[in-house]
Amino acid sequence: MIGLFNSLPLRGVVLHNRVAMSPMCQYSAVDGRANDWHVVHYGSRAAGGAGLILLEATAVVPEGRISPQDLGLWSDDQIEPLARVVRVIDAQGSVPGIQLAHAGRKASMRRPWDGEGAVPPPLGWAVVAPSELPFTEGHLMPHALTEAEIAEVVTAFADAAWRAHAAGLRVIELHAAHGYLLHQFLSPLSNRRTDRYGGSFENRTRLVRDVVRAVRAQWPGELPLFVRLSATDWTDGGWDMDQTVELARMLKSDGVELIDCSSGGNVAGARIPVGPAYQVPFAERVRREADIATAAVGLITDAAQADHVIRSGQADLVLLGRELLRHPYWPLHAARALEQSVDWPAQYLRAVPKATPAPKGG
């Protein structure tokens, strides 16, 4: 039976275990460029044994940043600072990946520790969306993208994928969740368009599929492509699980290897029943009904809990977020708890816990 510490092959990439670091914004870049913080932050989690390190939401255009301090891949001069991070991850045996994103109407915001609300021009920028509907109070009124501007967004994702490959990354995840631009197009609550990008399911999913195809054309065939979806808006009349399954089937045919199953983020104040592993059923259903690999994410904190997700066939990969912020070496300790043998960094071998001897018989 496959467990948490079995390898996971994805096209020409093999993860040495099924623990991945979920993308989490660090709000610490300067002009979109990675720096020492990113080297230490991601390097620590790679040394801690995660099979895949997914770097934070990285903007494909400047106006796609959530905050002025977000990572970016809209310029060639951002490649080498990112490559430095990738080399550190690679050196520890983890696979380096990245989440490419455009925040849409949720862009130009203050980073969390700087207070709430938008950063208006001149320090911030004008934001865009499928329709002229702000996310909520405190967010900027977006400009509704024209079809020509939508085409530019698609090109920006493809160009960022090329730069990601140049930086040495081996997995791309496209962010179509949490109320950011691609999710905004999917949901009828944020997409009120009447052209070929709005209205029907086919039209609302057109941008995501256009982006996937454009990225797949730039991204080497031997490297895997993920998509993160919010399985539900948790709001009547919004994006839901049935639509997620249908889109996942289509994305598989477009060349996507794995669906990262999250939820929410597109409706302010949505009532979300948060609890341990509360999103795992989404990953299980997509895996079963769309016949595609999935990742489970959300309040997975315990080794036995994570292992059960894999062994029971609910998902192929477990993504840890806040738990890896708290415990960078969680995979090493989880392996011990599950009595699995894993490699520690050579520099730390003197600290590997010794097995507890069995009690002598009386």
Active site residues: 180
Question: Would you give the distance in Å from CA 140 to the centre of its chain?
Answer: 24
- H or E element in which residue 173 lies: strand 171-176
Separation of alpha carbons 252 and 330, rounded Å: 31
Which residues are CB-neighbours of 204 under 8 A, at least 6 positions away? 185, 186, 187, 188, 191, 197, 198
Q: Mapped to the 3 state alphabet, what secondary structure does 258-312 carry?
A: EEEEECCCCCCCCCCCCCCCCCHHHHHHHHHHHCCEEEEECCCCCHHHHHHHHHC
Q: Which two tokens stand for residue 172?
A: 């791309």
Separation of alpha carbons 199 and 185, rounded Å: 10
Based on the number of CB atoms within 10 Å of its own CB, is 321 exposed (0-12), middle (13-18) or buried (19 or more)?
middle
Contact 235, 204 (CB under 8 A): no
DSSP 28: -
Q: Which two tokens stand for residue 101?
A: 């994103």
Count other C-beta atoms under 10 Å from residue 104's C-beta: 25
R_g (Cα) of the chain, nearest Å: 20
Which residues are CB-neighbours of 277 under 8 A, at least 6 positions away? 296, 298, 299, 300, 305, 309
